[in-house]
């Protein structure tokens, strides 16, 4: 092992230990953050990196011919040894995935609302860790990731986006149905005037929205904030079932309320429910849901009850 390889090993060990520390809910000190950040920067200034970069440039044609668009189809071992900066990138990818898999495995026996709370809590922690690692390793983004994206390597993405894709694979794919169901049950409880932890719902919604980052990862730079992520995951996996549940809930409530109350009282109830749904969106759902939600509530509570209103008015005038 060369001196520069020892440098890479030393930097990686420090970074790996820092990630372990954060996954154990221990705060990373400012001095550790600065030292690791400087170490990563020094690696990309080292002779080892420069030699690999020159070697890749001289073999550019051969390297490009071997590249694929799918990282799972490529051999990570080949990539790590042949692409400057690839060693650190793929070590980091493996570390984040294995750390998250361990957390998921340790809590694999949970169900119902316990899964919901576990998902929300783990998301908040993982999101924070991903952001910190992305900042510490911004030199990996600016050197390795940018170079690979310039070569049309669509599988190589910025570290935060990579972290979101790992979350999607390890947590979202196996747990989203249970998590969404638990979320909908809490919202139903809230509609029935029960006290709930809306912060948990807000955290889950945030995770669904931010997973859109991985779907829309073509950023101009590693430090650019994503302001318009795709909402496909949020729309498909939360909003669609949420609107279905909303329709079912209010259809049953309308039928029951009109049996025991006047139309005037019913319309007061509708106004109250509309105000509540606006507040719900403002408090813990994504704002894009508001228009569809209000439309759905008005359809169920007003449009679909017009015949009842008409019959009540006819009856009133016939008395």
For the chain, what is the HEC assignment?
Answer: CCHHHHHHHHHHHHHHHHHHHHHCCCCCCHHHHHHHHHHHHHHCCCHHHHHHHHHHHHCHHHHHHHCCCCCCCCCHHHHHHHCCCHHHHHHHHHHHHHHHHHHHHHCCCCCCHHHHHHHHHHHHHHHHHHHHHHHHCHHHHHHHHHHHHHCCCCCCCCHHHHHHHHHHHHHHHHHHHHHHHHHHHHHHHHHCCCCCCHHHHHHHHHHHHHCHHHHCCCCCCCCCCCCCCCCHHHHHHHHHHHHHHHHHHHHHHHHHHHHHCCHHHHHHHHHHHHHHHHHHHHHHCCHHHHHHHHHHHHHHHCHHHHHHHHHHHHHHHHC
pTM assigned to the model: 0.82
Enter the tokens of residue 266.
Answer: 């019913």
The total of other beta-carbon atoms located within 10 Å of residue 189's CB is 12
In this predicted structure, the answer to whether residue 315 has a pLDDT above a threshold of 50 is no
Tokens 């910025």 correspond to what residue?
A: 158
pLDDT digits (tens, 9 = 90+) for 133-168: 999 999 999 989 998 888 888 889 999 999 999 999
Kindly report, residue by residue over 202-249, the tens digit of the pLDDT.
999 999 999 986 767 644 444 444 444 589 999 999 999 999 999 999
Q: What average pLDDT does the chain have?
A: 84
Of 31 and 6, the one with more pLDDT: 31
Confidence of residue 60 (pLDDT cuts 50, 70, 90): low
Compare 134 and 43 and report the one with higher pLDDT.
134
Instruction: Map out the domains of the chain with their CATH numbers.
Output: 3-230 (1.20.1310.10), 238-318 (1.20.1310.10)
pLDDT of residue 58: 54
Query: In the structure, what pLDDT confidence band is assigned to residue 45 with cuts at 50, 70 and 90?
Result: confident
Rounded CA gap, 187 and 244, in Å? Answer: 13
Question: pLDDT tens for residues 264-311?
Answer: 899 999 999 999 999 999 999 999 999 999 999 999 999 988 876 666
Q: pLDDT per residue over 185-209, tens digit each?
A: 999 999 999 999 999 999 999 999 9
pLDDT value of residue 2: 46
**And the tokens for 183?**
């979320």
Three-state DSSP string of 193-258: CCCCCHHHHHHHHHHHHHCHHHHCCCCCCCCCCCCCCCCHHHHHHHHHHHHHHHHHHHHHHHHHHH
How much is the average pLDDT of 70-84? Answer: 52
Of 170, 145, 132, the C-alpha closest to 90 is 145
């Amino acid at each position: 092992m060369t001196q520069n390889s020892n440098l890479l090993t030393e930097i990686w060990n420090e970074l790996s230990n820092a990630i372990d520390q954060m996954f154990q809910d221990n705060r990373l000190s400012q001095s550790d953050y600065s030292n690791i950040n400087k170490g990563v920067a020094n690696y990309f200034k080292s002779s080892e990196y420069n030699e690999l970069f020159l070697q890749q440039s001289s073999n550019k044609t051969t390297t490009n011919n071997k590249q694929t668009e799918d990282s799972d189809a490529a051999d990570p071992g080949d990539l790590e040894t042949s692409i400057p900066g690839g060693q650190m990138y793929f070590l980091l990818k493996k570390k984040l995935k294995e750390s998250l898999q361990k957390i998921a495995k340790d809590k694999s026996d949970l169900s119902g609302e316990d899964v919901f709370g576990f998902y929300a809590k783990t998301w908040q922690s993982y999101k924070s860790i991903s952001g910190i690692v992305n900042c510490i390793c911004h030199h990996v983004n600016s050197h390795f990731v940018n170079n690979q994206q310039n070569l049309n390597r669509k599988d190589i993405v910025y570290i935060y986006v990579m972290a979101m894709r790992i979350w999607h694979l390890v947590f979202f794919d196996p747990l989203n149905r249970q998590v969404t169901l638990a979320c909908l049950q809490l919202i139903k409880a809230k509609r029935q005037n029960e006290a709930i932890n809306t912060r948990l719902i807000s955290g889950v919604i945030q995770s669904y929205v931010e997973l859109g980052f991985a779907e829309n990862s073509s950023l101009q730079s590693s430090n650019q904030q994503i302001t318009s992520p795709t909402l496909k995951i949020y729309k498909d996996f939360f909003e669609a079932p949420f609107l279905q549940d909303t329709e079912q809930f209010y259809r049953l409530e309308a039928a029951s309320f009109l049996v025991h109350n006047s139309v005037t009282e019913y319309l007061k109830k509708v106004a109250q429910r509309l105000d509540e749904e606006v507040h719900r969106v403002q408090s813990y759902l994504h704002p894009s849901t508001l228009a569809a939600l209000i439309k759905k509530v008005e359809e169920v509570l007003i449009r679909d009850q017009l015949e009842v209103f008409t019959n009540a008015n006819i009856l009133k005038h016939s008395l």
